[in-house]
Structure formats: C-alpha cells, structure tokens
A and B are shown apart, each in its own frame.
Chain A
Amino acid sequence: MSAPSLNAALLLLADSRLPAGGHGHSGGAEAAIAAGTVRDLPTLAAFLRGRLATSGLVSACLAAAACALSAPAAGSGTASAPAGDDAGERGMPSPAARGRAAAGVAGGLLGGWTELDAEADARTASPAQREASRVQGRLLLRTARRIWPSPVLDGLAEAVPEGAHHPIALGAAAGAAGCAPEEAALAAAYTSVTGPATAAVRLLGLDPVAVHRLLADLAPDLERTASTATAAVTPGLEQTVSTVIAPGLERAATAPSAHTADSPPPSPAPTASAWAELPAHSAPALDLLAERHLRAGLRLFVS
C-alpha cells in the first residue's frame, strides 16, 4: 500500500534516552548478576533470550493490544465497523479527524483499559514485578502525555490511576504517536532486552560493543516476537470493540460529556475477557530475582 510503512516515532519510543525513567530499571539483571547467574557475555545472552521468550513476548502482546485499542485508526470507525480488520495496518486519518475520533473513543475505552490492565496483573505473579511495571508505566505515561498529547492517554491515566502496566502505557503511547500495533510490540520486545543489557554493561563492565552484538543477534527474534504478538491480539481486538468500545461509544454519543470524573469507568465485562487467550509465558527465575532484588541491601537499580 502507499501509506508509509515506518513511523519515526517508534525510534523515540524505543530509545533508551526517552525521559521516562527506564534507565533506573535492569529488568532483573542486577539481581541475576548479584546471584552470579549472569556473569559474562554467554550468560547475559542466555538471560536476554529467556527474558524475550517469556516476559518480552507477554509485554509485546500487551503493547500491541494497547496500541490497537488506542490508535485513533482503530477507534475512528463507527461502532458498526469493527476495527479489527485494519488492526495491523496503518492508514491514519487527518490530525483533525484523529483528534475528534480520539476524543470520542476515549470515553468508550475506559472499560477496555481496565480489562487489559487486569490481564497484565494476572500475568505478573510477582508483586515486585507488578510494582516495577506500574511505576515504569506511570512515568512513561507522564512523559508521553506531554510529548503526544491525546485524550486516549488521558483516558488511560484516568482508568488506571495507580499507573498502568508498562507495556500498556507503551502501547498506548505508540498509538497516540501514530504507530501500528506491530511497531508497539516491537518496541516492547526491544525494551525488554535493552534495559537488562545496558544494566549488565554498567554492572559487569562488559564491552558495550560485544553486548550490542548480542542485541543485534536477537533482532530476528525481536521481529518474530512482534509479529506473534500482533497476530495474537487480533481476535481480542475484535471482541473488545464489540463488547466494550462500541457500547462505550454509544454511551459517549448519547451523553457527550460522559467522559468526566463523575462517570466512573464501566466495570469489566462479566464475560470472558477479550484478552484471555493472549500469551502468558512465565519466567519463574525472573519472579524470584525480582523479589530478591527488592530485599537486597545494595542495589543500584529500581528493579
């Protein structure tokens, strides 16, 4: 198609210099280094590969789902035209139309955010990891709302006042920045390994070029993870559009100012969540490391 196939905002979102607090998180690497299980390039490579295959994949799925929910392209259609069909495509409307669509869909989305956030909670057994994820999500959303102001991001902050999980904030920010779900998934997969890699460079004094070589070797896995995540999200998106967003849009249409502090977000649908089937790969060692890190007397990173 003729639409641009790449979005430069993706580079900003994935850049470790994005001022969103990411530099303070090692994704379990500091605890693994303290435990001696990550100590050199081969053990770091294994750590990164395992992290990507588990929490990286789950993060990519949540980010893709959040991006699909938030992308004005997904919401600008009417309730009768589910957006699932173009979930993986771009085709952005004009900025003005985006603004109108975003404002309209923001109210309809509140239930969608709550539901997706609950799915992230259910996939994060470790309280330390949940807290780290929410702190990062809160900081990212704070930053993103200033860089890419959008009613959709305001709505996410409102729906999850304690701080949305990081991949959800990342996906929503990607959507607000005009990225496609697969790009959001790629950014999530990428940051799931770059954070620990950078931390290992600092803590172990590894050759930064050698570590970047490891990351380069992971590039095909990152791409595969992103496309797996995008494919996994499509059925859930169709369901959430019909069960959560469309009714929300109808409410917003009948009561234009319904999106206020006085109208609490609708509670999640009592039926099975749209995102129930998303991957839920667990990494028991990361859970144990996250909890051990929290109790360490000496730590440089938040997580």
Chain B
Amino acid sequence: MGASHEDHHHTPDPHGRALRLGIGGPVGSGKTALTAALCRALGQSLRLAVVTNDIYTTEDADFLRRAGVLDPERIAAVQTGCCPHTAIRDDIAANLDAVETLEERFGPLDLVIVESGGDNLTATFSRGLADRQIFVLDVSGGDKVPRKGGPGVTTADLLVINKTDLAPMVGADLTVMSRDAAAVREGRPVLFTSVRQEPEAHAVAEWVTGVVEAWAHEHRHAHPHAHAHAHAHAHAHDADSPESSAHDTGSPEPGHGRDRTPV
C-alpha cells in the first residue's frame, strides 16, 4: 500500500490497463441490451467488467446481473444525480473510480465497458474516461436522427443503429439513415443491428474485438499477459481499421463472428 500503488491515479496512463469503451445514446435505444450482447459474445474470450450509469439507482446493473451474462461482482453501478452526461463528460471522477476499482479487484482486464445513462444527442464521453466510444441510436427514434447529427452521432468511434427489425413498422428508411450517417461521420463506421433478433450482436462484437486487440497491441509493453489475444488475431483484423467490418448497405449484417476461441 505504498505511494506507488496510487500512482495510476496521477496520470491517465493507457499502458497496462484495459481498454475503456463507452456506450452512449438516447434513452431506450438499447444501450443496456447492447452491453448485455457484448458480454454474451465476448465474455468467454475477453476479461470483462461493466460500469453502468443508471438514472435510477441500479436498474441497469440489476438487469445485466439478472441476464446472467457476466459475474455480478464485475458489474458496478454509478449514480449520477440526475445528470448522466455530467458523469461521463464533465465530472468523470465517480466513473473513473468505479473502473479502477474493478480493475484492481478483477484485473488484469481486457475491456471495461462504461454504459452511460440514457441522455440526448449531445452526450459524449470524455476522452479522460473512454478510450473508444459507441453511440447507439434506434430506428424508432426516426430516420432523420443521423442527419441531425450531434456530437454522439458524428464523433463516436462506432455508430450503432439498433432495432432494425422495427424499421418497417415505424416507417424508417434504413438506406436514408445509412446515407445520412455516412455524410456526417466522415468515414467512421456505422453498424446496423437488431439485438433482439441477434442477441450476441456479432458485427458490433467483432468491431469491439478489433479495437481491444489494437489497444492491447499498442500498449502491450506494460501488459505482460498474452491471454485472449490469439483469438482476436484469428479474425485478421487490421488493428488500425476496425471499420473494416462496417458496411453501409442499410441492412443488418449476418453474424459471422462465431468462431470464438475457448479460453
């Protein structure tokens, strides 16, 4: 318990720690469902932990715990005092504390997912908290949302458009959404999915795997274990272009990431 133990509090040193992935998006777009899907898809190959930022107490954390996708102890809940965007952007102290507590207790980890509380289109993660971020929209919010943009839509490392199965019912044109998103995102990837129909969200999981692999590659010199990385290599992802799995066809890509390497 010396001073050196606390040193990582001093600088947000990326070396030797897990990738921190923020998942944000409006209320009801499916952030928690996507988080659960990623836990299902990646829980065997990556060492995972999750921080939820519930609006109300621990509802999202409890949902994840009940879903049984991850050891309940690896899910921490942060209360945000009515201001979910504050907790991921302006004052990230509580989230950082939760992330580091999980890393101390269960580390070394490969990936810590920080799921934001449902917010609006302007809510993005501070780079001091999330190394990469996914913004989740759903088609029932209207097919004009991508065109309207906003920092979440335009700057997230990955834009996920969820609930494609509802598109016919709500009259959303996925082609329009895809085109508009591409226009505002300057080449950053967009993925369409329906977590309800595809509970492991394979395309998204594959993107995350690529990002985690790239992160571990970049910062591995303080990350001595080689665990789980062989798996990611099997996908032959270029670490620098995780968007290789992205597409803009307007239809959900069939899952193809099923060859998970057992741990």
Does chain A touch chain B in the assembled complex, meaning CB atoms less than 8 Å apart?
Answer: yes
Render A118-161 as a binary contact track against B, CB cut-off 8 A, 1 for contact: 00000000000000000100111011011001000011011001
B2 at the interface (CB under 8 A from A): yes
B38 at the interface (CB under 8 A from A): no
Q: How far is the CB of A246 from chain B (nearest CB, A)?
A: 22
Cα distance, A138 to B80, chains bound together (Å): 17
Q: How far is the CB of B72 from chain A (nearest CB, A)?
A: 18
B97–A138 CB distance below 8 A:
yes
B57 at the interface (CB under 8 A from A): yes
Which A residues lie within 8 Å of B11 (CB)?
146
Cα distance, A296 to B9, chains bound together (Å): 32
Chain B interface residue bracket vs A = 20 to 34
From A17, which residue of chain B is reached at the shortest CB distance?
B90
Which of B6, B80, B81 lies in contact with A157, CB distance below 8 A?
B6
B245 at the interface (CB under 8 A from A): no
From A149, which residue of chain B is reached at the shortest CB distance?
B10
From B117, which residue of chain A is reached at the shortest CB distance?
A300
A261 and B2 contact, Cβ closer than 8 Å, known pairs A17-B91, A202-B82: yes
B123 at the interface (CB under 8 A from A): no
B96 at the interface (CB under 8 A from A): yes
How many A-B contacts at CB < 8 Å in the complex?
95
A157–B9 CB distance below 8 A:
yes
A300–B80 CB distance below 8 A:
yes
Which B residues lie within 8 Å of A135 (CB)?
94, 97
Which B residues lie within 8 Å of A149 (CB)?
10
A300–B2 CB distance below 8 A:
no
From A18, which residue of chain B is reached at the shortest CB distance?
B91
A20–B91 CB distance below 8 A:
yes
Which A residues lie within 8 Å of B9 (CB)?
142, 145-146, 157
Which B residues lie within 8 Å of A261 (CB)?
1-5
B79 at the interface (CB under 8 A from A): yes
From A157, which residue of chain B is reached at the shortest CB distance?
B6
Chain A interface residue bracket vs B = 35 or more
B67 at the interface (CB under 8 A from A): no
Interface residues of B, dominant DSSP: loop
Interface centre among B1, B56, B81, B94 (most CB of A within 10 A): B81
Which of A22, A24, A203, A296 lies in contact with B78, CB distance below 8 A?
A24
Which of B1, B78, B93 lies in contact with A158, CB distance below 8 A?
B1
A99 at the interface (CB under 8 A from B): no
Cα distance, A20 to B87, chains bound together (Å): 10
Which A residues lie within 8 Å of B230 (CB)?
none
From A155, which residue of chain B is reached at the shortest CB distance?
B3
Q: How far is the CB of A11 from chain B (nearest CB, A)?
A: 17
B155 at the interface (CB under 8 A from A): no
A42 at the interface (CB under 8 A from B): no
Cα distance, A24 to B92, chains bound together (Å): 11
A24 and B1 contact, Cβ closer than 8 Å, known pairs A142-B9, A300-B79: no
Which A residues lie within 8 Å of B3 (CB)?
154-155, 157-158, 260-261
Which A residues lie within 8 Å of B78 (CB)?
24
Interface centre among A24, A154, A199 (most CB of B within 10 A): A24
Q: How far is the CB of A193 from chain B (nearest CB, A)?
A: 16
Which residues 1-41 of B sit at the A interface, judged by CB distance below 8 A?
A: 1-6, 9-11
Which A residues lie within 8 Å of B56 (CB)?
298-300
B80–A24 CB distance below 8 A:
yes
A21 and B93 contact, Cβ closer than 8 Å, known pairs A161-B1, A301-B79: yes
Cα distance, A145 to B10, chains bound together (Å): 6
